[in-house]
Amino acid sequence: MDITLSQAAEIIKSSDNIIITAHINPDGDAIGSLLALAIYIKDCGKNVTCILDDDIPEKFNFMPNISLIQKPSNIIKSDLLIVLDSSDIERIGKVAQMVQAPILNIDHHISNIKFADYLYLDADAAATGEIIFELLESQKCKFNKDIATCLYTAIATDCGFFRYANTSASTMRIAAKLIEAGVSPNMISEKIEKKSLENMRALIKALESLEFFLDNKVGVLSITEDILNICDNTEGFIDFPRVIDGVEIAILFKCVQDNLCRVSMRSKSVDVSSIAKIFNGGGHKRAAGCSILLPINEAKKLLIDTIAKQMKNGATDV
Ligand code: 5GP
Ligand code: MN
Ligand code: MN
């Protein structure tokens, strides 16, 4: 059921034991939104448990209360499960089976499949963190430095530090308020954008794989096992084909098993969330992802052929 933000606030208020989760392969928005909401709910005197079915990338260790996040271990009953930044129940991994509670989903993905008992969706929000800011502000929350740091990280990471098309005047206003609450933007960007030596070496190898398709409108990086053996964190690699003049869609294929590829897409003019949906994935018009159950070369051919057809039909124009 679609609900308003004030209804979401009421549902939270009327629950005493709350579990919060977010999507696997967590990014700054998933972790930042989760922690900010957890700190607020805890400060309201309620029981809050943070569960995430994945490892937390080391670069997020600076975030306040990061140690609150646990992996799911046994089945728990609760008053409410809040699912953040996730458009699909499969995105929360095992948490879906481990927690027995009504689900409140707060999200900003246009591809949201409306799986929850209660859904607050704002596809115009640059990040789920923006929605959490509005939710907390509507409840007269005092934004302390910890909450502000989590929300700033959530918002800044999802809008490419205020560069992507989802950056709005409201995004900037919220960021300004968070800075007034004590956030240090340079500290956060240093922590998030920091790269290890291995990561750089993997990037050099990944760039050697750069290929172009469909009149150079599609730029592709292929992350094979040898690259993942150097470093398995490939975040940000897709920005290299993305910024090439003439490239409309950047794609990163990551070979996670012999017959399984993770795919990330970024676009300037094409709705890649609709392409990801064809492969049971999702995301936003300009940033989406999916998994394809094929070896990397076959997955590449299938996806490029699908994009060619979609572009020819004009089905994916934004
Ligand atoms: P990324 O390429 O950074 O992994 O993901 C880009 C966007 O697409 C993010 O908003 C992410 O949540 C979404 N996304 C990535 N992979 C999937 C997927 O397999 N399923 C769904 N529903 N969304 C995805
Ligand atoms: Mn996310
Ligand atoms: Mn997000």
- Which residue has the CA at smallest separation from atom 9 of ligand 1? 283
pLDDT (0 to 100) of residue 244 = 98
Which residue, by CA, sits nearest to atom 12 of ligand 1?
Answer: 283
Q: What is the pLDDT along the chain (318 residues), one digit of tens a residue?
A: 999 999 999 999 999 999 999 999 999 999 999 999 999 999 999 999 999 999 999 999 999 999 999 999 999 999 999 999 999 999 999 999 999 999 999 999 999 999 999 999 999 999 999 999 999 999 999 999 999 999 999 999 999 999 999 999 999 999 999 999 999 999 999 999 999 999 999 999 999 999 999 999 999 999 999 999 999 999 999 999 999 999 999 999 999 999 999 999 999 989 999 999 999 999 999 999 999 999 999 999 999 999 999 888 876 667
Q: How many CB atoms lie within 10 A of CB 40?
A: 23
The SS3 call for residue 197 is helix
Residue 125 token pair:
């929000």
Q: Is residue 277 in contact with ligand 1, taking CB distance under 6 Å?
A: no
What distance in Å separates the CA atoms of residue 23 and residue 109, rounded to the nearest whole number? 12
Q: Residue ranges per domain, the chain? A: 5-193, 197-313
Distance CA 177, CA 133 (A): 10
CA 265 to ligand 1: nearest atom: 2
Q: Is 270 exposed, middle or buried (0-12, 13-18, 19+ CB in 10 A)?
A: buried
Would you state the pLDDT for residue 208?
Answer: 98
Please give the class, per CATH, of domain 5-193. alpha beta
The backbone torsions φ and ψ at residue 196, rounded to the nearest 5 degrees and listed phi first, read -80, 165
Examine the predicted complex and report whether its ipTM is higher than 0.95: yes
Amino acid at 4: T
Q: Give, as residue ranges, everything with CB less than 5 Å from ion ligand 3.
A: 29, 85, 127-128, 158
**CA atoms of 169 and 281, how far apart (whole Å):** 29
pLDDT of residue 288: 97
**Residue 180: per-residue pLDDT:** 98
Sign (positive or negative) of CA dihedral 270, 271, 275, 278: negative
The pocket of ion ligand 2, defined by CB under 5 A, consists of: 27, 29-30, 85
Class of the CATH-defined domain 197-313: alpha beta
The answer to whether the CB of 284 is under 6 A from ligand 1 is yes
Looking from the CA of 283 toward its CB, the CA atoms found within 13 Å total 25
| Farthest CA pair distance, the chain | 58
User: Would you call 52 exposed, middle or buried from its count of C-beta atoms within 10 A (0-12, 13-18, 19+)?
Assistant: buried
91 Cβ closer than 6 Å to some ligand 1 atom: yes
What is the structure's pLDDT at 315? 67
Site to probe by mutation for ligand 1, drawn from 115, 249, 251, 264 as the one with most ligand atoms within 8 Å of Cβ, is: 264
Tell the residue nearest (CA) to atom 23 of ligand 1: 282
User: Is 283 close to ligand 1, i.e. is its CB under 6 Å away?
Assistant: yes
Query: Does this chain's domain 5-193 share its CATH topology with 197-313?
Result: no
282 Cα–ligand 2 center, Å: 11
Residue 14's pLDDT is what?
Answer: 98
Count of other CB atoms within 10 angstroms of residue 272: 30
